[in-house]
């Protein structure tokens, strides 16, 4: 055992550099405790400061079970009494405190993140241009620009912080909607209580799929109980539970169940010995004490774009200064001073900075968080939403995901008789009816006693249908049926049956065996008739195709048995297929007497398990049970929408093949009449088509149409790589039936490895957890198991499958809108503004747009209007487009640059520059009087004084600014739609209404008026009113940009294969 534990530690430590803080701390604590146990601990006074000191004192795993009950003053049958719970609950709640947030790191990210660091550079050099480079009379303009830049930094940093706080608050509030409950024994009754209300000494019962709610000492276990400790150890191996200590180290022994681990198999009962911050997990969280800042996928792409833009901006800024120092200063003395050169070159930094972009990225987080919260969708990381926008394959579980998950028994069958449950209630449950077949006695015994579900004792007074049940949907349906089944003529009643027998062994259902086994013995009785019946039974319930092979006899309706011959098997199999084709889940109920075996009452659990496995043969098939789980009413429409969005939907289920195909047809996963099997696929020669094809290209083509395929778990075991190529590359509709967790995992990994697929997996059971964790996006249902919810990256709290449609749309919309923001910002910002700096530095023209107006335009006018794009609703074709390829489809591509620099930008800067030259022409200054003049611009040029010429420049700069402001209104309306005309999607009414657009336009106009007419700005920043005609002409330019873009969109819609359509963004 020690060698095994040593190997475990070695593997975990080898995996630790992956950055898993919890696993590192867990192993560190474990090694510290080991050193103490081995007598290598430090002196006592040093131990008290050791974080592991408290864990070293744990000895609850080393004392006998009865002593554990005595230590915590609790009873094995009654649990804690109400008074004891109330007293103990006053000390602390079972809640682990969150690790402290490193606000200083967040603050630095807000202040220097995004484009703010460029603003800091611009601020510093502007301050230097004022003092000391400003000389004896530094220009107030330079100081004003510096103050403005500092305000930009302060405001943007504050905005980032507020948006981050708001998004975090929304996500934290929705996390509280996850109900974390615990099943406990209090006052002698099984109760379900909030996990936070557990107290030390509580007796907690756990079953497969449960999260361990507190640190527990195991006092009762099933022979197959297994725990998933991967959250602590980093290892995926299942750890068996024991009643006795397997190590002196409390962190390594297997008779403790630690908080936040999971029961992945079997059942167990434990006594709470630590809660909240005093648990092992609580101490590890306190030790790690830090949270990690992570970028979402779109944020990473924006950061990549930011680095490119920033490098270009800094490069051009340096080039402008080098050109001034090496050429202009010497060849054209007096053209610009050092201070003027720096301030004018600031435009290189501000012009290339789309300051609205980081604001919109931050804002998108809040918008997405709000929309997801409205749909009761918990997204653990907002990157999930962006990844959902790329989803190309959805592997969906059936039960509880595509179906309601509320099963009910519909039909009962024996070898020679078939009954509807409704008929049983109406005819056989009536007093005085003597027609009831005797076989119901055996069927009732198996259904009620071989069952992993149990009623909550607090709801025992309610009708059976209204009682709360802890257990999976299948067991719950059978339990409700057996509890309600009452046949007076056979003296059948559930209370009588459960009182007559005691369970002494159980093997719970798991997805590998696909059956459940219970061993029961009759309690002592004086009833002579009862004594004549066998006293010890093996009861088995599970998949018919698995259990049929273990049956020797079959029960008839009259209670007699006959051999289970091939003919009898064919009869039963035909009934199973008929029910399955109707969408029913079929269970076989079997039993055999164990009276001939001498089973000792104190036989060890492991010996009992081995005995039961060896004796699981020669069973009698008692009957079949048909269970119906109807599809969710909203699922067919949701599946149709997902498929129209270019996403293939695969069903992955543990159900029988015909049942799975029937449900798949009902919900729209399969639409084709012909459904291929593995033999059909191989005989068609399809695998040969993919022998030389590269993995990213293995995907169905639109020309081939839809093809359907059904594969069973046995088929999957035989699939080779060439077969997987054909499965993933050729079929659009696939049902995987009778799959195990390992096979589900194989399906996900094989699909991800081909066709550049982004794979999402939905599920709610323990068996779904490995696939949920391996998928690009794991989606769990709120009513699902704790294991599934832990493994998933998104949880549908109200079990609404249609929320997946909304999530896909949100992912695509965020990416779509950010692309629109960049296309809107770049033509005026990085193009039209930079042209003025270029003309100033290389063509000797006065700066057509002052540094102040450049900064102001980027951080006020552009931001005010670009924000409106983040509130855009989806375009009509958003969910009709193919999924974005996360590997090859970037935020910016060559079509993007064509739109920015050769279309919108190529209309903007000539229009703005023409306004500059028109105004100069009106003052008597021709083209060559304005351009290529360098240091000739001074007193005497065309008879003007330097003051007059400077006034002309100030007015011209304001004209250029106003022209850009109003042309951006046209660009905004043109950018709102990629294909659709504005006439079908105007911002004022209709499905694409976005009132933030006119508000943004009004805001940018007000900013322009304030800049030109605001008191005090004229003295500091040299802004000035402009002639009326220059307020009107830009509206014509804006309309022209909009009309030209409308013509482009018309050509794209009319001629989708033209060169214009191929260049469309």
Residues with a known catalytic role: 397
Tally Cβ neighbours within 10 Å of residue 308.
11
> Which tokens is 748 given?
């996900």
Sign of CA dihedral 266, 271, 276, 282: negative
- 422-446 b/e with 16+ CB inside 10 Å = b? eebeeebbeeeeeebbebbbbbbbb
Instruction: Report the candidate in 969, 1003, 994 with the shortest Cα–Cα distance to residue 872.
Output: 994
User: Pairing mode, if any, of strands 377-379 and 536-542?
Assistant: unpaired
Give DSSP secondary structure letters for 559-584.
S-EEE--HHHHHHHHHHHHHHHHTTE
Longest dimension (CA), the chain: 131
Instruction: Report the candidate in 138, 146, 158, 139 with the shortest Cα–Cα distance to residue 120.
Output: 146
> Which residues, including other chains, have CB under 8 Å from residue 168's CB and lie 6 or more apart?
none
CA-CA distance, 1063 to 200, in Å (whole number)? 68
Output the CA–CA distances (angstroms, integers) from residue 387 to 296, 383, 461, 644, 809, in the order listed.
9, 6, 48, 18, 11
> Which tokens is 892 given?
């910016």
C-alpha count within 13 angstroms, C-beta hemisphere, residue 944: 18
Q: What is the CA radius of gyration of the chain?
A: 37
CA-CA distance, 377 to 375, in Å (whole number)? 5
Tally Cβ neighbours within 10 Å of residue 167.
20
Cis peptide before 1013 (omega within 30 of 0): no
Output the CA–CA distances (angstroms, integers) from residue 555 to 83, 612, 621, 721, in the order listed.
52, 22, 6, 45
CA-CA distance, 509 to 518, in Å (whole number)? 10
Sign of CA dihedral 298, 300, 301, 307: positive
- 582-606 b/e with 16+ CB inside 10 Å = b? ebbbbbbbbbbebeeeebeeeeeee
Tally Cβ neighbours within 10 Å of residue 120.
15
Instruction: Report the candidate in 256, 199, 262, 186 with the shortest Cα–Cα distance to residue 227.
Output: 262
**C-beta separation of 700 from 707 below 8 A:** yes
> Which tokens is 319 given?
């080039």
Instruction: Report the candidate in 401, 910, 434 with the shortest Cα–Cα distance to residue 667.
Output: 401
Output the CA–CA distances (angstroms, integers) from residue 832 to 115, 348, 416, 1027, in the order listed.
19, 11, 86, 22
DSSP at 631: B
**C-beta separation of 99 from 288 below 8 A:** yes
Give DSSP secondary structure letters for 341-385.
HHHHHHHHHHHT--THHHHHHHHHHHHHHHHHHHTTEEESSTHHH
End-to-end alpha carbon distance in the chain: 63
Question: Residue 700 burial (CB < 10 Å; 0-12/13-18/19+)?
Answer: middle
> Which tokens is 149 given?
């830049």
Sign of CA dihedral 687, 692, 695, 701: negative
């Amino acid at each position: 055992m020690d060698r095994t534990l040593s190997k475990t530690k070695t593997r975990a430590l080898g995996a630790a550099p992956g950055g898993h803080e919890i696993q590192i701390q867990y192993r560190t604590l474990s090694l510290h405790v080991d050193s103490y146990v081995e007598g290598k601990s430090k002196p006592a006074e040093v131990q008290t400061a050791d974080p592991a000191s408290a864990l070293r004192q744990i000895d609850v795993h080393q004392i006998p079970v009865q002593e554990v009950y005595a230590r915590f003053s609790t009873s094995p049958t009654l649990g804690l009494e109400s008074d004891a719970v109330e007293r103990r609950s006053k000390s602390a709640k079972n809640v682990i405190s969150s690790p402290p947030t490193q606000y200083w790191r967040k603050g630095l990210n807000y202040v220097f993140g995004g484009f703010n660091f460029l603003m800091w550079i611009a601020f510093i050099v502007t301050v230097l241009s004022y003092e000391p480079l400003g000389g004896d009379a530094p220009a107030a303009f330079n100081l004003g620009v510096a103050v403005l830049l500092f305000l930009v930094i302060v405001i943007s940093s504050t905005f980032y912080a507020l948006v981050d706080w708001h998004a975090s608050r929304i996500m934290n509030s929705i996390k509280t909607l996850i109900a974390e409950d615990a099943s406990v024994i209090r006052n002698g009754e099984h109760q379900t209580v909030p996990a936070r209300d557990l107290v030390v000494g509580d007796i907690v019962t756990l079953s497969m799929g449960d999260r361990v709610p507190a640190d527990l000492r195991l006092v009762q276990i099933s022979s197959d109980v297994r725990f998933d400790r991967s959250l602590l150890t980093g290892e995926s191996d299942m750890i068996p539970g024991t009643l006795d200590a397997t190590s002196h180290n409390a962190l390594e022994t297997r008779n403790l169940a630690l908080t936040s681990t999971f029961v992945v198999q079997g059942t167990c009962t434990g006594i709470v010995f630590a809660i909240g911050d005093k648990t092992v997990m609580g101490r590890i969280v306190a030790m790690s004490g830090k949270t990690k800042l992570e970028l979402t996928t779109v944020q990473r792409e924006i950061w990549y774009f930011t680095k490119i833009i920033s490098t270009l901006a800094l490069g051009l800024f340096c080039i402008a200064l080098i050109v001034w120092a090496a050429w202009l200063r010497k060849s054209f003395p007096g053209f610009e001073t050092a201070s003027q050169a720096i301030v004018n070159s600031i435009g290189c930094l501000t012009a290339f900075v789309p300051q609205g972009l980081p604001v919109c990225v931050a804002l998108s987080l809040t918008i997405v968080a709000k929309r997801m919260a409205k749909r009761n969708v918990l997204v653990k990381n907002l990157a999930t939403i962006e990844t959902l926008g790329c989803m190309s394959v959805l592997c969906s579980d059936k039960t509880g995901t595509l179906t309601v998950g509320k099963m009910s028994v519909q039909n009962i069958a024996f070898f020679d008789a078939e009954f509807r449950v409704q008929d049983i209630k109406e005819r056989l449950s009536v007093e005085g009816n003597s027609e009831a077949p005797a076989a119901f006695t055996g069927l009732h015994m198996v259904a009620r006693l071989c069952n992993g579900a149990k009623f909550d004792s607090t709801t025992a007074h309610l009708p059976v249908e209204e009682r709360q049940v802890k257990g999976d949907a299948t067991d719950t349906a059978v339990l409700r049926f057996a509890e309600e089944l009452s046949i007076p003529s056979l003296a059948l009643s559930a209370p009588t049956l459960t009182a007559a027998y005691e369970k002494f062994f159980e093997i719970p259902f798991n997805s590998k065996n696909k059956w459940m086994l219970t061993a029961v013995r009759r309690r002592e009785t004086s009833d002579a008739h009862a004594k004549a019946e066998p006293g010890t039974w093996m009861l088995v319930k599970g998949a018919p195709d698995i259990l049929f092979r273990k049956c020797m006899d079959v029960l008839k309706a009259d209670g007699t048995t006959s051999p289970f011959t091939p003919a009898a098997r064919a009869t039963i199999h035909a009934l199973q297929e008929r029910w399955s084709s109707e969408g029913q889940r079929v269970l076989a109920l079997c039993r055999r007497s164990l009276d001939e075996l001498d089973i000792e009452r104190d036989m060890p659990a492991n010996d009992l398990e081995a005995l039961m496995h060896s004796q699981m043969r020669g069973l009698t098939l008692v009957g079949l049970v048909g269970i119906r789980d109807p599809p969710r009413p909203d699922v067919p429409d949701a599946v149709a929408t997902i498929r129209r969005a270019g996403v293939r939907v695969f069903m992955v289920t543990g159900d029988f093949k015909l049942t799975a195909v029937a449900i798949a047809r009902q919900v729209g996963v399969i639409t084709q009449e012909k459904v291929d099997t593995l033999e059909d696929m191989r005989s068609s020669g399809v695998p040969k088509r993919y022998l030389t094809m590269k993995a990213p290209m293995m995907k169905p083509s639109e020309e081939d149409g839809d093809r359907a395929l059904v594969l069973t778990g046995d088929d999957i075991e035989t699939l080779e790589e060439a077969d997987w190529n054909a499965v993933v590359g050729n079929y659009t509709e696939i049902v995987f039936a009778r799959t195990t967790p390992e096979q589900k995992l194989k399906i996900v990994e094989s699909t991800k490895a081909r066709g550049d697929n982004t794979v999402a997996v939905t599920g709610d059971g323990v068996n779904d957890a490995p696939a949920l964790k391996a998928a690009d996006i794991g989606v769990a249902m709120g009513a699902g198991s704790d294991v599934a919810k832990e493994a998933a990256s998104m949880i549908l709290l109200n079990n609404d499958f249609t929320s997946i449609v909304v999530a896909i749309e949100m992912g695509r919309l965020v990416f779509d809108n950010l692309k629109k923001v960049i296309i809107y910002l770049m033509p005026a910002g990085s193009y039209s503004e930079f042209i003025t700096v270029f003309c100033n530095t290389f063509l000797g023209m006065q700066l057509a747009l002052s540094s102040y107006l450049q900064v102001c335009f980027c951080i006020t006018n552009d931001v005010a209007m670009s924000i409106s794009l983040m509130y855009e609703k989806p375009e009509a074709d958003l969910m009709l487009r193919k999924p974005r390829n996360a590997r090859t489809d970037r935020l910016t591509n060559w079509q993007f640059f064509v739109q920015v620099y050769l279309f919108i930008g190529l209309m903007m800067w000539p229009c703005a520059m023409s306004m500059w030259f028109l105004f100069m022409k009106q003052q008597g200054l021709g083209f060559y009087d304005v351009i290529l003049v360098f240091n000739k611009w001074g007193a005497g040029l065309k008879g003007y004084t330097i003051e007059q010429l400077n006034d002309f420049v100030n007015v011209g700069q304001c004209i250029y600014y106003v022209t850009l402001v109003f042309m951006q209104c046209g660009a905004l309306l043109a950018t709102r739609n990629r294909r659709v005309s504005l006439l079908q999607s105007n911002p004022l009414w209709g499905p694409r209404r976005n009132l933030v657009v006119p508000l943004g336009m009004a805001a940018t106009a007000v900013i322009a008026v304030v800049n030109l007419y605001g008191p005090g700005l004229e003295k500091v920043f040299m802004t000035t009113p402009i002639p009326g005609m220059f307020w009107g002409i830009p509206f014509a330019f804006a309309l022209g940009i909009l009309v030209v873009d409308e013509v482009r969109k018309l050509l794209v819609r009319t001629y989708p294969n033209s060169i214009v359509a191929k260049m469309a963004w």
